[in-house]
Structure 1
């Protein structure tokens, strides 16, 4: 038995025409609110313990360092010694129909446009209130672990990057008619029981929350939000007072809720407007039905200690041990770079620039690379040789922290090509991106221990096979803890783009183009999670790992310069 409480609080953000986060589309703006967006929290502690594990999931596209640090600062004040930030995890459902503008880093706020402080304040307030109420409602509760398997015929998820997936030697090769099998169709579940009655749950299943397209204009929780609402309604009908259910993400990086296979575009185009909301609800219902069914059958009670470790890692400079680099010596990550494939988007879910444009981008990118590497005696040769070795074979378009686009400063690019480039130019010329990074480089990695279960909390969009490798490594590193189960949760605590395997990265599909720190990104994550798992297996007094590193402070005056205080003159409905 544990002491467990739960709560959900609406995130009070009203649609005012700001662009939503996820698709990166200048025109994807919110003028309506279709469903409420919530912060849902479980507070879990051992009997007589003072500091709980806090698991909070937001109906949001991602978590940012600004969101997490804001929550941590307030909870430190309100809970004092009863709060341990290592035992707090913030997750996102990754709905693409939620607010943006909540990051201090510049890039992913461009469409919004800019940083929106009222959005960040609303998130922090909702999370804090949800956490405090969850703590107040703690009672003796049994936690049970269970799994459910989607039937092959349940149309809930498909792999959207099959060529990349099939490059992995540790998968069953699938053809274009089997994209629904090229993913992990298992759902991991925690059920919370009082007097033998299911009162709440946490579901982990990876599928993008992109049932709703970038042609809609309303805030909505998408499939994960509908799954939670349907489950909570069911439990309320069973007599549960104020039930809370979290439907979080697992290995969703290469997994879509839309059919990927023959005639995929024609099939997707038949789902438009109101039909998209019905499609999202049905996908959510599939997830809710499986969760409730699995928890009504066999399950395993969790017993034992609660614990957590969290460490910030600079992913721009990780030296990869040969056991994680396929024997390659001197493998290393690099500064964050976005590739051509990032701008090309994904099939079905979110198409980007047209092929002629991406082909031109590739040509220009290769010219920049050739020029930079032409003279081995040039002052910057070693720097660029290391960068391209790490990022190979990516055709680099955007570089952080040098803040360059195709090898040139951001403010010299022709702004007539794209409204996002125009906004980027505006912010650079205003002095808003002089010392600020476009994206994070220092990100948090975290593992929670709940009895026999280890929950690996990953800040990125991790692909199916990448997640399996991380899970296997953590499991092998945790044998001294007698851990029976290892699960992964994604979109946790910050946003670092994608995590593809080295083999997938070579394909340079969208996911590889958005794997920021180069071809060894997944190896770095696997290596660092191994270290955390080993630390977690030690007594707290014996642990030795980095608990002090944090992202560098971003100049407040630059944040102010790219803050839009509600005037959205550039938005056109």
Structure 2
């Protein structure tokens, strides 16, 4: 009897184990759309250099490689619940971008849950900026919010999502993993001294072992069709793709973009490869700690004797991307399955008020008074090269030995003089400085994003510049006006464009998506290697209780806030520590909030105690209008290469005809060159009846009409007028309605100048820049106002 019971027990255990490893079928779809965008003088996001922007021509020659939005849609057919993973070739994600796409999703599916979709970025430094409503980071050198670009991104990302939803097929999902060999120069720790301060590091690494002080593993989520054929994949490998430097003013997806392109060229048509980020905060694709030996090695690999890691190298970027692609394809095809993904889909996304998080004692590093500060940026993040010419990622770099440090010292001396002999700070100001010191020390705070001060000098001031203290005027002239990003920011402050909220986000999204027995956690901004490992372990320890076998942390997700370092790295104040904007306990705050979120996800959905009401604040349309679509203080002139492209396009009438036909689908009549009217185009196809003034570039034509089923649009950009006409039928035009691309009715902001049965002329002067939809006679036509 005992033997029989033992046999039955063993059989039950074996059958149970088999059931857990059984292959579950999901419905998986893939979407990919082009998000490459050209606009004269549009700045890039990444290096914080004002001159890093497209030229006044913004010609196709300024596209080195194209940018894409990639989406994977995973649906559980048993529950119809779906998870969407969206990855874009951008420097980061903004709340405005995320919110815009969610609104588009709810226009077709009103009950769409924003927690079901995670947005992440490759962090290329050569994608356009200007798609955040917050005035710092993505808007500082664009300059301002670039509404046409934001609307374009929203539409293109939305289309990649719809594409993925529409082509779902039965699939299985598995987790695999590989590791880069130590001798492949793929990635390096760029802040080794700070890394070595961590007590939980694997070991202390020597200066010449920067290649080992990173996570060299590449976990990969692989998708197979019903016949067992490999389809798309998502992998996670953290590294800054910064082979393309600010000395180049061209759009480029950098190594992560090249990796995806190389991989997709070797995959079945209609599938995609996502090269997601993880612990990239202190990792880069070149070894600046050992610059001489690394330079010699890479020069030989790419066959370029002139290679310099401080300058742009497209061959290096392609080589690095190719290595990541080869590793991912090798893992997909040749490595064993570690986990067969099976189980339900679950997700949560909440917002946290970061400055008011109470850090759990287990994450406070023994500090019973652990305090999260209001956001502020420190000296190491802004210092630039030191006086010996070393950049911030070289081993012996010292931010204190830099021109910026000297300027900071001069600024604080002037502040001391003013406050001692003229304008003493208030007791509230002193109390605030003390609180910030507790949270941020030993960081030397330069920019306070909450009080909006630069070296405690007001960025936002209602005082007439003539009323400012003479020493402040001197400081403005000698320091502020020498940096165009600072100058642009101070000008915006004086114009009342920075009055509302903070300069950077403080209400931050955290997210966990569970797909069967794996979890994907989305953290805003950049996170260093050890900080990433600690956060992952924190979440894993909790979710293991509900059968989660692996946690994957996706960085640059849902919003951008700079860096997150460990407490020990922060105290060292390397570049990443100086750019950890909420102070030394920022990682502890994230660990606290992710642990709370993961713990709630152990409960059934209806029993979770989560605050869904907290949301980021809204800026008024008035303030946004004051800092939207600004003209740069300094522009990049057209190069000879730019001009030659423009001349090539307009040199031959026959080739011009073909180009117009490609864009509009309607061959336009062309008279003499003197009568030609310049229109802009970005390289996307234009539907019948759609005139997007940002979508055609360097095409010189005369527009007679753009004919559709019934409606015609006659744009007149120079006079802010658009004429809607009805040429194909005798049906009278009804009243028109004008909406934003997000559905907001703005008809009250237009003025009807002339109206007849077949034509209506409207004045669009009071519309802010953006994409608009004209509704008339049951038809919708789009136009863009710059």
Give the structure-1-normalised TM-score.
0.94
Q: CA deviation at 1:294?
A: 1.1
Q: Corresponding residue for 2:222?
A: 191
- Does residue 252 (structure 1) correspond to residue 280 (structure 2)? The answer is yes
Give CA-to-partner distance per residue, 1:236-283, whole Å, 9 cap, x none: xxxx23121101101000000011333359839723799711111111
Q: Corresponding residue for 1:287?
A: 324
Q: Tell me the SS of whatever aligns to 1:219.
A: coil
Q: CA deviation at 1:363?
A: 2.9
Q: Tell me the SS of whatever aligns to 2:79.
A: coil
- Does residue 17 (structure 1) correspond to residue 63 (structure 2)? The answer is no
Write the mapping of 1:335-346 to structure 2, written as runs, cut at 5 A: 335-345=374-384
- Does residue 177 (structure 1) correspond to residue 177 (structure 2)? The answer is no
Q: Corresponding residue for 2:535?
A: 470
Q: Tell me the SS of whatever aligns to 2:363.
A: coil
Write the mapping of 1:69-468 to structure 2, written as runs, cut at 5 A: 69-81=99-111, 83-108=112-137, 109-171=139-201, 172-194=203-225, 195-235=227-267, 240-264=268-292, 267=295, 270-271=307-308, 276-296=313-333, 297-299=335-337, 300-345=339-384, 347=392, 355-363=401-409, 378-410=427-459, 413-414=476-477, 415-468=480-533
Give the direction of change, closer, same or farther, for the CA distance of 1:368–1:80 in structure 2 (3 Å limit): farther
Give the direction of change, closer, same or farther, for the CA distance of 1:425–1:377 in structure 2 (3 Å limit): closer
Give the direction of change, closer, same or farther, for the CA distance of 1:190–1:438 in structure 2 (3 Å limit): same
Q: Tell me the SS of whatever aligns to 2:87.
A: strand
Cα distance in 2 for residues equivalent to 1:209 and 1:12: 18
Give the direction of change, closer, same or farther, for the CA distance of 1:391–1:452 in structure 2 (3 Å limit): same
| Larger radius of gyration between Structure 1 and Structure 2 | 2
Q: Is the 8 A contact 1:373 1:381 kept in 2?
A: no
Cα distance in 1 for residues equivalent to 2:290 and 2:239: 20
Higher RCO, Cα 8 Å, sep 6+: 1
Cα distance in 1 for residues equivalent to 2:447 and 2:458: 10
Give CA-to-partner distance per residue, 1:298-324, whole Å, 9 cap, x none: 013200011111110111121212111
Q: CA deviation at 1:501?
A: 0.4
Q: Corresponding residue for 1:35?
A: 65
Give the direction of change, closer, same or farther, for the CA distance of 1:370–1:327 in structure 2 (3 Å limit): farther
Write the mapping of 1:481-500 to structure 2, written as runs, cut at 5 A: 481-500=546-565
Cα distance in 2 for residues equivalent to 1:46 and 1:18: 42
Q: CA deviation at 1:360?
A: 1.9
Give the direction of change, closer, same or farther, for the CA distance of 1:569–1:511 in structure 2 (3 Å limit): closer
Q: Is the 8 A contact 2:519 2:552 kept in 1?
A: yes
Q: Is the 8 A contact 2:191 2:393 kept in 1?
A: no
Give CA-to-partner distance per residue, 1:180-232, whole Å, 9 cap, x none: 11110011111111121111000110000111111111111111111110110
Q: Is the 8 A contact 1:205 1:251 kept in 2?
A: yes
Q: Is the 8 A contact 1:344 1:352 kept in 2?
A: no
Give the direction of change, closer, same or farther, for the CA distance of 1:137–1:371 in structure 2 (3 Å limit): farther
Q: Tell me the SS of whatever aligns to 1:5.
A: strand
Cα distance in 1 for residues equivalent to 2:264 and 2:403: 46
Q: Is the 8 A contact 2:245 2:312 kept in 1?
A: no
Q: Is the 8 A contact 1:26 1:419 kept in 2?
A: yes
Q: CA deviation at 1:378?
A: 2.9
**Aligned partner (choices 92, 98, 102) of residue 62 of structure 1:** 92
Q: CA deviation at 1:444?
A: 0.2
Give the direction of change, closer, same or farther, for the CA distance of 1:220–1:263 in structure 2 (3 Å limit): closer
Cα distance in 2 for residues equivalent to 1:368 and 1:471: 45
Q: Is the 8 A contact 2:484 2:633 kept in 1?
A: no
Give CA-to-partner distance per residue, 1:129-157, whole Å, 9 cap, x none: 01111001011111110111010011110
User: Gapped runs of 5+ residues in structure 1?
Assistant: none
Q: Tell me the SS of whatever aligns to 1:445.
A: strand
Give CA-to-partner distance per residue, 1:44-78, whole Å, 9 cap, x none: 11014334111000000000011001111111111
Larger mean Cα displacement after TM superposition, 244-253 or 49-58: 49-58
Give the direction of change, closer, same or farther, for the CA distance of 1:370–1:164 in structure 2 (3 Å limit): farther
Q: Is the 8 A contact 2:459 2:494 kept in 1?
A: no
Q: CA deviation at 1:356?
A: 3.2
Give CA-to-partner distance per residue, 1:91-123, whole Å, 9 cap, x none: 000000101001100011111111111111111
Q: CA deviation at 1:361?
A: 4.5
Give the direction of change, closer, same or farther, for the CA distance of 1:119–1:264 in structure 2 (3 Å limit): farther
**Aligned partner (choices 563, 566, 576) of residue 501 of structure 1:** 566
Give the direction of change, closer, same or farther, for the CA distance of 1:153–1:371 in structure 2 (3 Å limit): farther
Give the structure-2-normalised TM-score.
0.69
Cα distance in 2 for residues equivalent to 1:368 and 1:484: 57
Give the direction of change, closer, same or farther, for the CA distance of 1:216–1:482 in structure 2 (3 Å limit): same
Q: Tell me the SS of whatever aligns to 2:210.
A: helix
Q: Tell me the SS of whatever aligns to 1:330.
A: coil
Q: Tell me the SS of whatever aligns to 2:33.
A: strand
Q: Tell me the SS of whatever aligns to 1:303.
A: coil
Q: Corresponding residue for 2:722?
A: none
Give CA-to-partner distance per residue, 1:432-487, whole Å, 9 cap, x none: 11224211111100011111111111112000000110011111111221111111
Cα distance in 2 for residues equivalent to 1:47 and 1:425: 54
Q: Is the 8 A contact 1:365 1:395 kept in 2?
A: no
Give the direction of change, closer, same or farther, for the CA distance of 1:560–1:34 in structure 2 (3 Å limit): same
Larger mean Cα displacement after TM superposition, 155-164 or 364-373: 364-373
Q: Tell me the SS of whatever aligns to 1:333.
A: coil
User: Gapped runs of 5+ residues in structure 2?
Assistant: 1-24, 299-305, 385-390, 461-471, 638-786
Cα distance in 1 for residues equivalent to 2:383 and 2:145: 25
Q: Tell me the SS of whatever aligns to 2:110.
A: helix
Q: CA deviation at 1:377?
A: 9.9
Cα distance in 1 for residues equivalent to 2:114 and 2:425: 47
- Does residue 516 (structure 1) correspond to residue 545 (structure 2)? The answer is no
